């Protein structure tokens, strides 16, 4: 019963998100279907991050256990042959028995892309949020850096059922400009639902000068979702990568 | 009767090409429809390059003459409000009476993008040709540079009705690697139908080691289309920009 760690890239535009749903096509469902064809039985695939509808991945990680003994390189090619071109298995690695992509993850990195120009690029329309008008990127970066460390991020979550704690450890949080793009990148041990997009929406309010850097601290301290900025659109968000400690 | 020079970017994936056709949606047709709405009469739009179905543009240029006096900035916004998100008017500039985007063009630049890795990126599937296996980029670049200067490019054209001459002047022709991309960029005073894609297909044969650098010279000298490599797919090709001398 070999276990595998799959590294995945996908364009989320055409999907209801990572997770299998009652209706619509999910990335998880597509890959589970392909695994079932290969393994001859139902296979459950665990993803490290449950990306929402329209959210993309450069380095999603998922785990599964198969009945059949299959070479990792063969598995990559066999899965890609069965998947549409907007979902790709980038790599497959043999994993220790019991490896779980979500529970064993020690850090994740997300990137939020903002296209800051008068006219949107037709090539970025599904991969970045179009924000026009001047953005004070220095203020956005200073506000992003305030989030580093362990905090209660309740102000930046969309509640979706009971969760144990809204404390999260953010190891890195930075905003950079590479015209016409402004990119927010954040790494941490875990993320609440819509957390990165709510932070991105708040950072844009600060970049526009409507809010100050100090407002970021006040929103965070308030633990009140109604105080944060609007949730930035899904199509600007990328799950960049997932890290694992010693396995 | 103000004349305008429009600079356009479009994702060619969903279109039958630049030029209006009996059936299917063309980029020219879309913009002409929007211009008709604004000007209250039929408007003819002349494009500098007649990009084929699936070919993209970063800096296509088109010319038109309107009845109404309209501010160039207003024209950009009014057109973009009437166009789908995969076709954008990047700029509009007042032009001299009689300015013709195709006849007055002095140079055009095209870029052909090759994605050279085992697994295709889902984000490049409509914007680059997936070529796996090693590519000798130095040989490709040397072969591309042989094309500089004035030559008869008959070996690299798809005949489409009578044309005056198949001589063209290439001012720049270069292949670069920026992993995982390999990019071929060519500038010249004009291009025959499918010329850039036929050259790209030939360069890949050379990169794979099936043909030598000297074969590029032989193909060019042969003036025989059956001697060149396969026509590379449309979706890797971008019209980057168009230049005009003193107007």
Summarised one tens digit per residue, pLDDT across range B64-109 is 999 999 999 999 999 999 999 999 999 999 999 999 999 999 999 9
Cβ atoms of B76 and A117 within 8 Å: the answer is no
Cβ atoms of A170 and A185 within 8 Å: the answer is no
Cα distance between the two ends of chain A: 18
Q: Which chain A residues are Cβ-neighbours of B76 within 8 angstroms?
A: 119
User: Nearest-CA residue of chain B relative to A92?
Assistant: B119
Residue (of A18, A237, A203) closest to A128 by Cα position: A237
Residue (of A152, A147, A203, A192) closest to A171 by Cα position: A147
CA distance B145 to chain A (A): 29
- Is residue B90 within 8 angstroms of chain A, CB to CB? yes
Residue (of B20, B67, B69) closest to B46 by Cα position: B20
Q: Which chain B residues are Cβ-neighbours of A11 within 8 angstroms?
A: 122-123, 125
Q: Is the ipTM of this complex over 0.95?
A: no
What pLDDT score does B235 carry? Answer: 98
Best of B54, B92, B123, B130 to substitute, by most chain A Cβ atoms within 10 angstroms, is B123
Q: Which chain A residues are Cβ-neighbours of B56 within 8 angstroms?
A: 123
Cβ neighbours around A81 below 10 Å, total: 9
Q: Is the predicted pLDDT of residue A181 greater than 60, yes or no?
A: yes
Cβ atoms of A88 and A35 within 8 Å: the answer is no
Q: Is the predicted pLDDT of residue B116 greater than 70, yes or no?
A: yes
- Determine the average pLDDT of the residues in A122-140: 98
Q: Which residues of B92-129 are buried (b: 16+ CB within 10 A; e: fewer)?
A: beebeeebebbebbebbbbbbbbbbeebbbbbbbbbbb
Q: Is the predicted pLDDT of residue A247 greater than 60, yes or no?
A: no
Residue (of A203, A209, A207) closest to A229 by Cα position: A203
Between positions 40 and 69 of B, the ones with CB within 8 A of A are: 56
């Amino acid at each position: 019963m070999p276990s595998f760690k799959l590294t995945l890239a996908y364009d989320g535009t055409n999907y209801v998100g990572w997770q299998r749903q009652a209706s619509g096509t999910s990335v998880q469902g597509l890959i589970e279907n392909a695994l079932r064809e290969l393994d001859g039985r139902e296979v459950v695939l665990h993803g490290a991050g449950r990306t929402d509808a329209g959210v993309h991945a450069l380095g999603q990680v998922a785990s599964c256990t198969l009945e059949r003994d299959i070479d990792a390189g063969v598995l990559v090619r066999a899965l890609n042959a069965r998947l549409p071109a907007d979902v790709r298995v980038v790599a497959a690695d043999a994993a220790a028995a019991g490896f779980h992509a979500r529970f064993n993850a020690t850090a994740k990195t997300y990137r939020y892309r903002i296209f800051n120009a008068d006219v949107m690029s037709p090539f970025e329309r599904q991969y970045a949020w179009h924000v026009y008008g001047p953005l004070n990127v220095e203020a956005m970066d200073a506000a992003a850096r305030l989030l580093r460390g362990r905090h209660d991020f309740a102000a930046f979550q969309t509640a979706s059922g009971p969760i144990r704690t809204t404390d999260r450890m953010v190891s890195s949080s930075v905003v950079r400009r590479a015209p016409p793009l402004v990119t927010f990148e954040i790494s941490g041990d875990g993320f609440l639902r819509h957390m990165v997009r709510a932070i991105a929406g708040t950072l844009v309010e600060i970049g526009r000068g409507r809010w100050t850097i100090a407002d970021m601290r006040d929103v965070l301290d308030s633990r009140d979702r109604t105080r944060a900025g609007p949730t930035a659109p899904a199509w600007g968000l990328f799950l960049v990568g997932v890290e694992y400690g010693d396995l």
